[in-house]
Structure 1
Amino acid sequence: MTQPSNDGYTRKLNATTLSKLLVVAVMMFGFGYALIPVYKQICELTGINLLTPKDATVEPVANTQVDKSRTITIEFDANAQGPWRFRPTVSSMQVHPGEMAQVVYEVVNTQPRSIDAQAIPSYAPQQAAAHFKKVECFCFQQQTLKPNEAKQMPVVFYVDPALPRDVKIITLSYTFFEIGGSAKTAS
């Protein structure tokens, strides 16, 4: 004896289950998609996790540690102890203590070989050294100059407002030395 076929009933049950699962999947996707603007609205209303101010006319907060009552002249100097040209792009600038500033030094390797070099800073007057703060400087690490390569190297700095008031001019001087002395030929 053969058993009666439930094939039609099983197909109908499977189709109903599949359609229910598809509806649930579409609803889950729609819910997740709708959460983005809802989340942004909730964050805006509560003031949580705001990345930008709502009013575009808001003034940026000024650095209150800048001493606008004083102006310091920074003079830049460069000494080359090797086969290259080395110089600052400007000879001097004026800054207020606490104000961030940047100067760029240029170096050109005039040799047909790679050279490893390091810059060593010095300051005048000597008491200014403790108050001259470099945030970024090419002197922090060794430089490798490829044959006939030219590089522009920035120095980002500020002068500590605790600099004695009688110091009006600071000279920042770099001496650029070859390191190792072993010649690397161009490849």
Structure 2
Amino acid sequence: MTPANRTLLGKLIVIAVAMFGFAYALNPFYRQICEALGLNVLTQKDGTVEFDKNTQVDKTRNVTIEFDGNAQGPWRFRPTQASMTVHPGELNTVMYEVVNMQPREMNAQAIPSYAPQNATPYFKKVECFCFKQQTLKASEARQMPVVFYIDPKLPRDVKTITLSYTFFEVGGGLVKTAAN
């Protein structure tokens, strides 16, 4: 190997390592930017919410929570109830139902969104199927809970919050046939 080729190889290795480091650093940087600006509900720390047992329930206020479910792909996905009225600080549970309409096992994930957007930081999920991917067998039906509370610091002008999930396949796959 000539000295020029060694120099070029060294430069290419440094560039490849720098590109890997840059790509590796982008994910936490992206999450922090989105969290700071409130642009992306995926960055809500759903999995780390701990329910404060000393939270005072505000019985003087009612907030209506509307539930919505959307499926991207071969699923039937919906909440088992359209809405509920809650008191801020009160622990509540709603069930979502999903049915895999395919003759094969599928992996899926649910992504939440909230309306109005300024209510997002006050909607605290203690347990949610959206924290991890779900694997459903062929034609399997499942009911999955969302355990939540509304932070009593929710602005008083917010009377209704909509919790919406989009349920979609992760990883994809082809149905195997005799031709495959």
- Same fold by TM-score, threshold 0.5 exceeded? yes
Q: Is the 8 A contact 1:81 1:178 kept in 2?
A: yes
- Do structure 1's residue 97 and structure 2's residue 96 form an aligned pair? no
C-alpha deviation, 1:63, in angstroms: 6.0
What amino acid does structure 2 have at the position aligned with 1:148? S
C-alpha deviation, 1:64, in angstroms: 5.8
Q: Is the 8 A contact 1:76 1:171 kept in 2?
A: yes
C-alpha deviation, 1:183, in angstroms: 3.7
**Corresponding residue to 1:166 among 152, 157, 165:** 157
- Do structure 1's residue 153 and structure 2's residue 144 form an aligned pair? yes
Task: State the SS of the aligned residue for 2:172.
Answer: coil
What amino acid does structure 2 have at the position aligned with 1:119? A
Describe how 1:75-154 pairs up with structure 2 within 5 A.
75-154=66-145
- The residue aligned with 1:36 is none
Q: Is the 8 A contact 1:115 1:183 kept in 2?
A: no
- Extract structure 1 runs of 4+ deviating beyond 4 A: none
C-alpha deviation, 1:122, in angstroms: 0.1
Cα distance in 1 for partners of 2:167, 2:117 equals 20
Cα distance in 2 for partners of 1:80, 1:95 equals 26
TM-score (norm: length of structure 2):
0.67
Cα distance in 1 for partners of 2:119, 2:163 equals 10
C-alpha deviation, 1:66, in angstroms: 0.3
Task: State the SS of the aligned residue for 1:128.
Answer: helix
TM-score (norm: length of structure 1):
0.64
Task: State the SS of the aligned residue for 1:139.
Answer: helix
Q: Kindly, what percent of the aligned residue pairs are identical? A: 74
Structure 2 gaps of 5+ residues are 1-52
What amino acid does structure 2 have at the position aligned with 1:117? A
Cα distance in 2 for partners of 1:142, 1:64 equals 30
What amino acid does structure 2 have at the position aligned with 1:91? A
What amino acid does structure 2 have at the position aligned with 1:102? T
Give the total of aligned pairs.
124
- Do structure 1's residue 67 and structure 2's residue 67 form an aligned pair? no
Aligned-pair Cα RMSD in Å: 1.4
Task: State the SS of the aligned residue for 1:180.
Answer: coil
Cα distance in 2 for partners of 1:63, 1:168 equals 23
Deviations 1:15-48 (A, max 9, x none): xxxxxxxxxxxxxxxxxxxxxxxxxxxxxxxxxx
C-alpha deviation, 1:182, in angstroms: 2.0
Cα distance in 2 for partners of 1:147, 1:182 equals 13
